Amino acid sequence: MSRPARSRTRHLLRPSLVLASVLDITPAFLKSHGLKGLLLDLDNTLIPYGSYDERAEVSHWAREVQASGCSLYLLSNATRERARVWAARLELPGVGLAGKPFAREYRRGLSSIDLPADQVGMVGDQLFTDVLGGNWAGMFTIMVRPISDNALPHTRLTRRLERLVLKRYGHDWPGKAAVNAPWPPQQPHTETPAPPETRTPDTTTGTEQGSTKGRHD
């Protein structure tokens, strides 16, 4: 079900939601927010910056989300070759050198998954590219905590500005990013306390069975 069109006067640097990790985006989450597609940033959103190491939990997440009926598209400012490698590994369509936050590649992503902007979320770790561009395109924007601190020098500088803007809107990081978290998210285990022991009266001694109180050796 489509949400009403958002006002063009909304705050372009205000994410719709801030999450600890992309793994927090479950099929139930997507359904509750009326999202049928996601445009996904790559570095520090799905994969640590510059890494080519496999992340099985992200591959599993992508398969499960797509199996629920949600379309995914990789929208990255990384090099075309890096984006191509990860798009192939994750079995997603997508582009590198996307030029975020400018609108051209956002429109291309929406066209690729054949969905209107108000049914699609933009997921990324940067306020001034992912969130700004997603809001500009009229999308539901989800900012996730960066997986690692390893990034380009100018990105490290903008992190300080991002924190100031997020605090202005009442946001803060909800926790550390999940680098090796299982998928689907597991519920914490709680043990059920054992029922209290039932004691029966001992008619011969006037005490309860199972107790030594009042007994003689």
Q: What is the pLDDT of residues 71-115, one digit of tens each?
A: 999 999 999 999 999 999 999 999 999 999 999 999 999 999 999
Written as six digits, the tokens of 176 are 């550390």
**What does the domain layout of the chain look like in residue ranges?**
18-168
Burial class from Cβ neighbours inside 10 Å (0-12, 13-18, 19+) for residue 160 reads exposed
The fold of the 18-168 domain, in CATH, is: Rossmann fold (3.40.50)
Tell me the H-state helices in the chain.
27-32, 56-67, 80-90, 103-113, 132-136, 153-168
Mean pLDDT on 121-141: 96
Give the helix/strand (H/E) hosting 23: none
Given phi > 0 = left and psi -120 to 50 = alpha, else beta, which region is 150? beta
The predicted model scores a pTM of 0.73
Q: What is the pLDDT of residue 164?
A: 78
pLDDT tens track for 9-66: 348 999 999 999 999 999 999 999 999 999 999 999 999 999 999 999 999 999 999 9
